[in-house]
Amino acid sequence: MKKITTPPGFQSLLSFPLLEALLGRRSRRFFMGAEIPDGVFAYKSGHKALPLTDLEKMLVVSACGGNTSWHHLISRAARYAPHLANYAGSAGGRVFPSSAGFHTSQTFFTDDEGLYLLDMRDAPAFDDRAEDGSLSAEAFVANVQKRIRKLRDRRLRFSSEVPYTEAHNTWVFNKPSTLVVIPVGDLSQHVLLNICYMLQNGLVLRDDINQCSIPGIEQFGEMVDSANAWPITFLEQWSLSELTVELGTSCYAGALMLQAMGLGGWMFNGIDSFSLLGASGNPDLPGLGFRYDQDERWPYPNPTGLEGVMEGYCPPHHPDMRAAVEALCERKFGPGGPFHPDTPGPWKDSRKVRSAAQLHDERFRECVALQAQYVYDTFGKFPGTVPSMFLIMYLQAHHLDLDFYDHFYKPGAYLETHANHMTLWHSDKSA
């Protein structure tokens, strides 16, 4: 990425009202260089396609996945007070909420120049907040810029035609000059964290598909009542729902940024997510390139991770589920983790706060691993009934063709930020 300079539009962005972003949010799909070939909205743009600048890209990506200083953690849990609640997976906070601070998602994005990862999931705070609670917008964006990892040259290879892209998005999705942000959730890790959460709150899994308890769970009677159980399908669907919120709010934050900047675009889910992850079965359409497996017991292929980039907390990226539990505990309690005493934080005595968390001891880890391994052995994958890696929502950003909206719509179809975008952000091209 090149060094970023800020045009006048950046200053306007800093004072843009939240209420205007909320009330002005609309899907605005028609971009410079686009064409709708037929129908009531048939129209061909009279403008050349205009890619986003480096600053515009960084602002949108920052809004979808940037670090916002330290996560404050959960202050108390009655079941194991006075120990600090130790649910969180990350010490840093991001622009979107995550269930109990699990933070299991990563942010990918693509444009004409390449495919990238914003590696922010376990990043420390880029700065402490000022006394008034503020953070530097310039430093916020600069922190994102330095944590971007380029995975491939050129745009993501993926078809914008049916069946990979739903019919209403074929003319607009992932076209030249557009930016597409792709948040991906690690559902294997999220479910594993929820098994930990359950055990901390007196619950264990029960196999409601095969109508049986987890074999051997009775040996942990000193920790939990084995009759106090959640069905596997319920836990996995619950985790899927929680992670969906994480991915959706990531894109929604980006959508609000589009209004403030005066960019076109929208958040959507009309894409074959398995194919986009890499499980299309077509070597000409590698998508993100995630490894995947197939099994006659499963209704769909199961992506598990991208080696060295985003690997699931399950085999084959770990030898077994016990190893995955150990990796999870290292993330939580190891250096840089939310419950390591040397990790800085927002408190006056951060070492005291972080040291107050109860570690997952050997017995606790054995119980979590027993349940997780049962799921893997029984269903051939982890989780058993939902994908190991999951995506559902995307954000596309592009430069709006105002002529299209002036031609078809009454006044008010776009905001003042859209009307002034070229003047404030591209003074060299506005004439």
Q: Where along the chain do its domains lie?
A: 8-425
Cα–Cα distances in angstroms (integers) from residue 34 to residues 46, 95, 234, 381, in the given order: 9, 31, 44, 42
Cα–Cα distance for residue pair 254/267, rounded to 1 Å: 8
What is the per-residue pLDDT for 248? 98
Give residues with Cβ within 8 angstroms of 259, minimum separation 6: 16, 20, 21, 24, 25, 415, 417
Give the pLDDT confidence of 353-382 residue by residue, as tens digits. Answer: 999 999 999 999 999 999 999 999 999 999
Number of Cα atoms under 13 Å in the Cβ half of residue 26: 13
Flag whether pLDDT at 3 surpasses 70: no
Share of the chain above pLDDT 70, in %: 98
Give the pLDDT confidence of 394-415 residue by residue, as tens digits. Answer: 999 999 999 999 999 999 999 9
What is the per-residue pLDDT for 203? 95
Both tokens of 335, joined, read 């250096």
Both tokens of 369, joined, read 């691993």
List the alpha helices (DSSP H) in 304-414. Answer: 321-333, 350-355, 362-379, 402-408
Give the pairing type, strands 229-231 and 179-186.
Answer: unpaired
- Calculate Rg over the CA atoms of the chain: 23
DSSP class of 361: -
Cα–Cα distance for residue pair 301/312, rounded to 1 Å: 15
Give residues with Cβ within 8 angstroms of 82, minimum separation 6: 356
Cα–Cα distance for residue pair 413/188, rounded to 1 Å: 42
What is the per-residue pLDDT for 428? 77
Q: Please classify residue 411 by burial: count the beta carbons closer than 10 Å to its beta carbon, then call 0-12 exposed, 13-18 middle and 19+ buried.
A: exposed
Cα–Cα distance for residue pair 325/94, rounded to 1 Å: 24
What is the per-residue pLDDT for 261? 98
Give the CATH H-level superfamily of domain 8-425: NADH Oxidase (3.40.109.10)
Cα–Cα distance for residue pair 189/363, rounded to 1 Å: 20
Query: Tokens 């001891």 sit at which residue?
Result: 361
Cα–Cα distance for residue pair 26/263, rounded to 1 Å: 11
What is the per-residue pLDDT for 79? 82
Question: Quick count: other Cβ atoms within 10 Å of Cβ 396?
Answer: 28
Cα–Cα distance for residue pair 340/359, rounded to 1 Å: 10
